[in-house]
Amino acid sequence: MKIAFDSQIFTMQEYGGISRYICSLAENLAKIDEVEAKIFAPMYINGYIPKLPKEMVVGLKIPVIPKMGLIFHLSSLWLARSAIAKFSPHILHETYYTSHQNEPKNCKTVVTVYDMIHERFASLFSKNDQISKLKRESVLRADQVICISENTRRDLLELVPVAPEKVSVVYLGVDQLSMFENNTFQVLETAELPYLLFVGGRGHYKNFSGLLKAYASSHWLMNNFKIVCVGGGKLQVDELNLIRELGIPSRQVKQVSASDDLLAEFYRGAAALLYPSMYEGFGIPPLEAMAMNCPVICSRTSSIPEVVGTAGEYFDPYDIESIRFSIERVLQSSERREELAALGRSRCNLFTWDRCAQETLDVYRRIAT
């Protein structure tokens, strides 16, 4: 079976969850004897593609040029058409949402839906935002749709008039983050306190403000732990203002950028991962934390319990007292931390890229001619 992946996400993301997913999926599909998988990205800015075997990729890495993103995106998509047609794939797996039909004749299309955040939290996005419209068009046009969680599938079926039999669930895998040989934390060299870890974006539905309020409501937490945010960009003015209004010393909330290697160290050194999101299509950080023996304290909402299972301490993300209580309960009990770490090690083993590739191939086989 010949499988083609289009260029869309690779002109949009240097690094990110979706492009990592596509690269990991393609790489593991290519390991299956009866499969030939290729990524067609004539021009790409992505940092994961160069790590793939050269024979899997049709394209050239280009530098990021401000204000040229849309031109590169459309040009790469257009150039990929002829290369994909020559490849004559059985399946074209579209890497993001588009209204353009790019598949050659006698080729079936598959699209992955990652979440329904734009639909569930529409007020957070610009009226000119086109994601919901393009997602709907892609889903209705595709021969098969993959959702990365049952929760995402339920939301999709509720919000888009797509036939249930056309929608499958395939869970993501978790990458085994590598470790530095020496365990020196570059940004925490002068830290007096242990730390709680927050990974990724901090936008509204991520509920970082709720976490700060819960933290500030506990003298015990404030006296014993810092908060370290990895990724998500520098702390914004409104976040710094909230930290000040809550009476949290500024030195106790740090933000850092980190490679995967350094991120692994942060997971390994944290007292716990805090994951207070109100909505997730899947949620990679809890699985990464579990793989690094880091206890997970998280929201009981959307897809999170589906992924974390019994390996997390849960709270209601809309209830500050619930968040505070759950964090204190774990951190004040070495037995509970050890239990969560052990449950996490077992849980993360269920989510592998090999399994993701095999189940995705099953989806392809159902529609391939």
In a domain, 132, yes or no: yes
Same domain? For 162 and 91 the reply is yes
Same domain? For 362 and 340 the reply is no
**Residue range of the domain that includes 221:** 186-348
State how far the Cα of 187 lies from the Cα of 281, in Å rounded to an integer.
Answer: 31
Same domain? For 142 and 206 the reply is no
- What per-residue confidence (pLDDT) applies to 293? 94
Q: What's the number of domains the chain is made of?
A: 2
In a domain, 248, yes or no: yes
- What per-residue confidence (pLDDT) applies to 179? 46
- What per-residue confidence (pLDDT) applies to 175? 79
Q: Residue 334 burial (CB < 10 Å; 0-12/13-18/19+)?
A: exposed
Distances 269 to 195, 273, 284, 316 between C-alpha atoms, Å: 8, 10, 18, 26
Question: The domain spanning residue 37 has which CATH number?
Answer: 3.40.50.2000
Same domain? For 193 and 258 the reply is yes
Same domain? For 327 and 192 the reply is yes
Same domain? For 68 and 144 the reply is yes
CB 22, CB 39: distance < 8 Å: yes
Same domain? For 125 and 252 the reply is no
Backbone angles phi, psi at 101, to 5 degrees: -85, 115
Same domain? For 191 and 160 the reply is no
Statement: the pTM of the whole predicted model exceeds 0.85: yes
Same domain? For 28 and 107 the reply is yes
In a domain, 178, yes or no: no
Q: Which residue ranges in the chain fall short of pLDDT 70?
A: 176-192, 369
Same domain? For 38 and 143 the reply is yes
Same domain? For 82 and 202 the reply is no
Same domain? For 148 and 73 the reply is yes
In a domain, 63, yes or no: yes
In a domain, 179, yes or no: no
Give the side-chain half-sphere CA count within 13 A for 193. Answer: 17
> Mind listing the pLDDT tens digit for each residue in 110-148?
999 999 999 999 888 887 788 999 999 999 999 999 999
- The closest alpha carbon to 362, from 4, 20, 32, belongs to 32
In a domain, 181, yes or no: no
- What per-residue confidence (pLDDT) applies to 192? 64
| DSSP run (H or E) holding 38 | strand 36-44
- What per-residue confidence (pLDDT) applies to 180? 45
In a domain, 168, yes or no: yes
CB atoms near residue 126 (< 10 Å): 6
- What per-residue confidence (pLDDT) applies to 193? 85
In a domain, 180, yes or no: no
- What per-residue confidence (pLDDT) applies to 49? 94
